[in-house]
Amino acid sequence: MAIRFVTGNEGKVREAREYLSGIEPVEQIEYDYTEIQSDSLSEIAAHGAREAFRESGSEQPVLVDDAGLFVDALGGFPGPYSAYVEDTVGVERLWRLARDEDNRRARFKTVLAYVDATGTETFEGSVAGTLVAPRGEGGFGYDPIFEYNGQTMAEMSTEEKNAISHRGRALAEFAEWFADHEA
């Protein structure tokens, strides 16, 4: 039985397939679930996964992720509102908001929510870094202003970024749980 990853992002599906290789096949499905407003990535992802599972009419499990950038000096903002802030305010303006702060520590977080007929489980991954002036041509979203070990995510190759990715860390936690859960 395949795990259905609810996303329109093929890159997320590739990453999930890498982590779950040999454990369970991953199938991409697109479903526009209701994204509730919450300060909790776990609540958002779990709600979306439960809705997608219920509406699919299938017993196959689903996986949904939600992610955000949490800036310490801004009280965790933009957090779960990261996509909205990127679309409306923009990455450069968020940088300008944080650049004069003494503490520019930030964290990318991902929460994966897994739903099957027995219930809901969530798994979190994060990576800590520092906000810096935009650099680099790769990546997407906040990657140009998020520095990890001297490089922004936008300066890293896909392989370098995936090796330290918040989503990858959540997927690793999920893969370990799933292997034990299914055994």
CA 78 to chain centre: 14
100 is known as an active-site residue:
no
Does the annotation flag 109 for ligand binding?
no
**Is 11 labeled as ligand-binding?**
yes
- Residue tagged active-site, from 66, 100, 102, 116: 66
48 is in an annotated binding site: no
* 96 has binding-site annotation: no
**Span between the terminal Cα atoms of the chain, in Å:** 14
**175 in a known ligand binding site:** no
Q: Is 138 annotated as a binding residue?
A: no
Angstrom CA distances, 108 to 23, 39, 65, 94, 163, stand at: 26, 15, 13, 15, 14
* Residue 149 marked in a binding site: no
CB atoms within 10 A of CB 94: 22
CB contact at 8 A, 69 and 89: no
Compute CA 145 distance to the chain's CA centroid, rounded to the nearest angstrom.
17
Q: Are residues 109 and 102 in contact, defined by beta-carbon separation less than 8 angstroms?
A: no
Which residue positions form the known binding site for substrate?
7-12, 67, 140-143, 161, 166-167
Enumerate the active-site residues.
66
Which residue positions form the known binding site?
7-12, 35, 66-67, 140-143, 161, 166-167
